[in-house]
Amino acid sequence: MKKPKYSLPEMKREVGDQLRESASLKTHLAEREADAICRMAEIVTDSFRGGGKLLICGNGGSAADAQHLSGELVGRFLKERAPLSCIALTVDTSILTSIGNDYGFEHVFSRQVAAHGRAGDVLLAISTSGNSPNVLRAVDEAHRLKMKVIALSGGEGGALAKAADLCITIPSQCCPRIQEGHATIGHIMCGLVEKSLFGE
């Protein structure tokens, strides 16, 4: 049996380093972005109260985040309550492939926003770089429809930080750390929305 490339002490050091890095970014969110997270939850809550819906889009791991959050809202998060109207624009392979084939991959989300979005709805756009062309086109379409746009980004925020009505940026160049921050914000937002709509 070959000797492993990493010794156990080396692996433990890396585990510790990555966990501390992740914890540091979440401390940053607690200190710098708490107000923005609350505002994000208020925007979503106000839309649901008015009979609106939440649309979510992203690529790769951000697509998984879109589906994850949609499941928490349509299903349940921490409370037994009525379902909330949320659509992940990442799940229908027939829609994604037909739009991608006929119009180009950059249109796979904007076309769905045009189909499902209405004034009073909210788009949550997720991009670790902030520069995903298909996500930015979805933002443009949402603005055209008079929807609110909230966003999660990383690094310097990219074009998404400027295009969204409200964007929270994870200040890291490491994609896994950015995605961990996005997942944490999403969970907090779901909890705040539930409590705001259905009480403690």
What pLDDT score does 196 carry? 97
197 vs 200: CA distance, rounded Å: 9
Tell me the domain boundaries of the chain. Answer: 13-198
93 C-beta neighbours (distance < 10 Å), count: 8
Contact criterion met (CB below 8 Å) for 198 and 81: yes
What would the two tokens of residue 195 be? 């409590």
Stretch 114-123: mean pLDDT:
98
Ramachandran assignment for 73, one of left (phi > 0), alpha (psi -120 to 50 degrees), beta (any other): alpha
Question: Is 2's pLDDT higher than 80?
Answer: no
70-81: per-residue pLDDT in tens? Answer: 999 999 999 999
47 vs 36: CA distance, rounded Å: 17
170 - beta bridge partners?
A: 154
90 vs 182: CA distance, rounded Å: 17
Q: Which residues in 92-159 belong to E strands, given as ranges?
A: 122-126, 148-154
Stretch 130-150: mean pLDDT:
98
Tell me the pTM.
0.95
27-43: per-residue pLDDT in tens? Answer: 999 999 999 999 999 99
Which top CATH class is 13-198?
Answer: alpha beta
Question: Is 173's pLDDT higher than 90?
Answer: yes
What pLDDT score does 5 carry? 80
Average pLDDT of the chain is 96
81 C-beta neighbours (distance < 10 Å), count: 12
Q: Tell me which residue of 24, 36, 43, 68 sits closest to 161, measured CA to CA.
A: 36
Helix (H) or strand (E) holding 26: helix 8-32
With bands split at pLDDT 50, 70 and 90, how would you rate the model's confidence at 11?
Answer: very high
What would the two tokens of residue 196 be? 């705001």
What pLDDT score does 94 carry? 98
Question: Is 106's pLDDT higher than 70?
Answer: yes
What pLDDT score does 3 carry? 67
